[in-house]
A and B are shown apart, each in its own frame.
Chain A
Amino acid sequence: MTYVAPPLAPADPKAVGSGRSGPVAWMALPALVMFVLFGVVPLVGVLLLSFTQWDGLGTIHPAGFSSWRSVLSDPGLLHALFVTFLIMFLSWAVQTPLAMLMGVFLAGRQRYRAVFAVIFFVPLLLSSAAIAITYKALLDPNFGLGPGLHLGILTQDWLGKPYLALGVVIFVVSWQFIPFHALIYQGGVMQIPASIFEAAEIDGAGTIRQFFSITLPQLKYTIITSSTLMVVGSLTFFDLIFVLTAGGPGDATRVLALDMYKRGFQANLMGPASVIAVILVLVGLGLALLLRRIGGSTTDSQLEGV
């Protein structure tokens, strides 16, 4: 994960004293044990399980590469990957400019901003299940808002047509997460030193020029942080899609996480489901590393000493 923080002063080993690390080391043990037991062991376990056959109840049999073969030759995997990346990209492309704009707005000093902010952030508090249930009722072609208002354009089978359903998912994701990212951008904008703008002013740079030459480059690390969270987070849009569309219509919104759940816990094929899980982990790690590389070396140094 990337950080917008200025480089942290590295801990001085002499001052802390390596000789006294013994007495404190045990304090890390409870957290370490919990994380290893329910984080690291499952991570290794999911790889092992991908080479087995298990229905979720009975005994586990080793099965070699059979799950991998069946998943990799299944066109469903390519489709799930495609839908995952499509939702990832579109929700990123919708959220980023809007969140940035609103972050700049929130960083201002308008008097009405406080009232604005109270309501603006409410979607952050709701569970994905609650949001999905609300939109499901709201968009219902028979009992929803459209028929209630007698608005033809709102009276569509929103969740019954593949492209509409995909659009609804992206809209609801944006509805839920734009406030969060606007908050991140607000923090980023507030950190830009005013002197830079003053210098640019003296040099005769206009507002638009200032935005593209100062604000945008200064927000570089904020953009990377926010994008990383959006991209890696989009891999875990499980509850929202599960409740909203259950992957449908057909498999139009069947993302990887949902594919894993359905194969594992509905079709009782834990082997293939584990293969999907391994792919999910690899995609997540790959994206995180890629975004960190784009972030450049400064980002790396900010992570040091943690």
Chain B
Amino acid sequence: MVTTIDQPSTRTTRHRETNNRRLRRLMHLNWFGGAAGWIWLAIVVVPLYWIVVTSFKQQSEYFTHNPFALPSAPTLDNYKLVIQSDFLRYFLNSTVVALGTTVPAVGISFMAAYAIIRGAGSRFLAGTSGLFLMGLAIPLQATVIPVYLIIIKLQLYDSLIAIILPSIAFAIPLSVLVLSNFIRDVPKELFESMRMDGADEWQMLWRLAFPLTRPALVTVAIFNGLTVWNGFLLPLILTQSPDKRTLPLALWTFQGQYSVNVPAVLASVVLTTLPILLLYAIGRRQLLSGLTAGFSK
């Protein structure tokens, strides 16, 4: 299965001519789509602009002036208040949870995907992959009550590891599916020749499959990292102390505390989104393909 990652380049070279002609055929519809696109862009931009502009305003100015005007006296007080409210700790918690989930989840999913492709024909592996497929069709959020019970029984309640463990499990089905589609594309001859040279499966996994599927691994890692970074339900039910909060949860409590101080609330929104926006600026294409990992083809 080819992914979105390498599509744009091959497409432009191969279909440049035909694409242009086809585009003319689609012109009318495209015109309509373009209008809808621009209107939608405005709908997207207005709240985003408002968030950023307001986050630099003083509370008094927010209430008395045009909400879309630039701040007359830009202030960083809102950001100071947010940082003083322990957001650095929440930021660290979110980082620990995101990395602690993504690295092991992608690692074990990669191994499982490799085994499922290389060991095709084994009943055990067919059953395993069937189980993961089933996991895709089930809203896993519905299992949070027993997850909560298990975490209590493991005496992990109110710790970051309590969020990490179920997050890893929830990430496995889609990761295995996407990664196995990529490992399947690795030519069998390469495995054969490595085997001739005396390599075992573990070496082939790391020296052959790993480098060849690296873009897919990055994509899957980004998808999982973003999902966990933005996750709300698991931190909500599996932790309770303020010092275990992750960012979305901290946002919610901060908003409850300072609901009247709209500029401060919006500054907290900006601060929690900043790391992802930076990532987006660095690798937009990779991030977008990560978001649609396995869906758009």
Residues of chain A having any CB pair with chain B under 8 Å: 1, 3-5, 8, 11-13, 15-18, 20-28, 30-32, 34-43, 45-46, 49, 56, 98, 101-106, 108-110, 116, 118-130, 133-138, 140, 143, 145, 148-149, 175, 178-180, 183-184, 186-188, 190-192, 194-195, 197-198, 200-201, 207-208, 210-211, 215, 225, 229, 232, 235-236, 238-239, 242-243, 257, 260-261, 264-265, 270, 273-274, 277-278, 280-281, 284-285, 288-289, 303, 305-306
> Which of the 9-residue segments B85-93, B108-116, B210-218 touches chain A?
B108-116
Candidates A16, A138, A260; contact of B120 at CB < 8 Å: A16
Q: Complex Cα distance A239/B292, Å?
A: 21
Residues of A within 8 Å of B201, CB to CB, are 20, 23-24, 27
Candidates B33, B272, B292; contact of A184 at CB < 8 Å: B292
What's the nearest-Cβ distance from chain B to residue A77, in Å? 15
Q: Complex Cα distance A239/B202, Å?
A: 41
What's the nearest-Cβ distance from chain B to residue A167, in Å? 14
Residues of B within 8 Å of A149, CB to CB, are 66-68
A32 touches B112 (CB 8 A): yes
What's the nearest-Cβ distance from chain B to residue A220, in Å? 14
The residue of chain A having its C-beta at the shortest distance from the C-beta of B177 within the complex is A306
Residues of chain B having any CB pair with chain A under 8 Å: 1, 4, 7, 11, 15, 18-23, 25-30, 32-34, 36-38, 40-41, 43-45, 47-48, 50-51, 62-63, 65-68, 108-109, 111-112, 114-122, 124-125, 128-129, 131-133, 135-150, 165-166, 168-170, 172-173, 176-177, 180-181, 184, 188, 200-202, 205, 226, 229-233, 237, 247-249, 251-252, 255, 260, 262, 265-266, 269, 272-273, 276-277, 280, 284, 287-288, 291-292, 294-297
What's the nearest-Cβ distance from chain B to residue A213, in Å? 12
A8 touches B30 (CB 8 A): no
A184 touches B296 (CB 8 A): yes
14 contacts between A and B (CB under 8 A): A1-B136, A31-B108, A32-B131, A102-B40, A122-B280, A124-B288, A183-B291, A187-B292, A194-B15, A197-B26, A198-B21, A225-B295, A285-B137, A288-B137
A229 touches B40 (CB 8 A): no
B131 touches A101 (CB 8 A): no
Give the top 6 A-B pairs by smallest Cβ distance, nearest first: A45-B146, A105-B33, A38-B169, A21-B122, A187-B296, A127-B230
Residues of A within 8 Å of B112, CB to CB, are 27-28, 30-32
Given A8-B1, A280-B142, A3 contacting B269 (CB threshold 8 A): no
